[in-house]
């Protein structure tokens, strides 16, 4: 729930610099919070999670409203980086939870849990950026998705190898993703140059 709220709030903040109204804020916040999980559930062929447990929607709507009105406050530097850390925590929680759900459904093992874990964590943000006309996180050099990919891969490997220690693995992988993201946020790391294709100059 805290993760959903943090996602919705960072979603609103990400688009608010363009000048948005209250309705758009709620839509963008909610899409950021539940978009990734919705696409995951569609691909899995299970009922979407927010129709089963409506509190997810209420929380994301409330968080979007709060972010809209508290925006001047959240623009301060300290609170904004708190949001970034909350968002990192939310992303890691979401990703591992999703991998877990896909694993339990025995869906496309071993690779689908990893893919859908990453998709759940970044999907909502991707849809938001596309609707807002922003550059998506896939095209910039922020290290956002790679820690999540690593964490989900390790989690799925540990589920396969040590199925009896599931909760320990989950906590370890969530911490691992969060730790990596926190490092990236704290030092402002980006993808090193030598890992990137050279843009064409012509």
Contacting positions for a second copy (CB under 8 A): 15-25, 27-28, 38, 42-43, 45, 47-48, 50-52, 54, 57-58, 68, 71, 107-108, 111-112, 115, 126, 130-133, 135-136, 138-139, 141, 145-146, 149, 191, 195-200
Q: Whose Cβ is closer to a second copy: residue 12's or residue 96's? A: 12
Q: Given the complex with a second copy, which of 138 and 168 has the nearer CB atom?
A: 138
> Rounded to the nearest whole angstrom, what is the least distance from the CB of residue 90 to a second copy in the complex?
20
Query: Looking up tokens 């904004």, which residue turns up?
Result: 80
Least distance in Å: CB of 56 to a second copy?
Answer: 10
Residue 190 pairs with which residues in a beta bridge?
142
Query: From the CB of 3, what's the least distance to a second copy, in Å?
Result: 20
Burial label, 150 (beta-carbon count in 10 A; 0-12, 13-18, 19+): middle
Q: Which is nearer to a second copy, 52 or 171 (CB)?
A: 52
What is the smallest separation between the CB atom of 136 and a second copy, expressed in angstroms? 5
């Amino acid at each position: 729930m805290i993760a959903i709220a943090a996602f919705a709030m960072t979603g609103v903040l990400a688009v608010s610099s363009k000048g948005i109204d209250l309705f758009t804020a709620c839509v963008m916040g909610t899409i950021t919070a539940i978009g990734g999980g919705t696409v995951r559930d569609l691909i899995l062929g299970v009922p979407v999670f927010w129709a089963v447990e409506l509190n997810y929607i209420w929380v994301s709507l409330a968080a979007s409203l709060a972010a809209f009105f508290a925006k001047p406050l959240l623009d301060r530097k300290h609170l904004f980086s708190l949001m970034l850390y909350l968002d990192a925590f939310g992303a890691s929680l979401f990703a591992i939870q999703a991998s877990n759900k896909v694993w339990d459904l025995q869906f496309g093992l071993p690779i689908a849990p990893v893919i859908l874990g990453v998709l759940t964590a970044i999907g909502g943000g991707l849809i938001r950026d596309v609707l807002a006309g922003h550059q998506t996180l896939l095209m910039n050099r922020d290290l956002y998705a790679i820690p999540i990919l690593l964490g989900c891969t390790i989690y799925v490997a540990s589920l396969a190898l040590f199925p009896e220690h599931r909760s320990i693995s989950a906590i370890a992988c969530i911490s691992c993703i969060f730790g990596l993201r926190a490092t990236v946020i704290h030092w402002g790391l980006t993808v090193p140059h030598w890992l990137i294709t050279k843009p064409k100059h012509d």
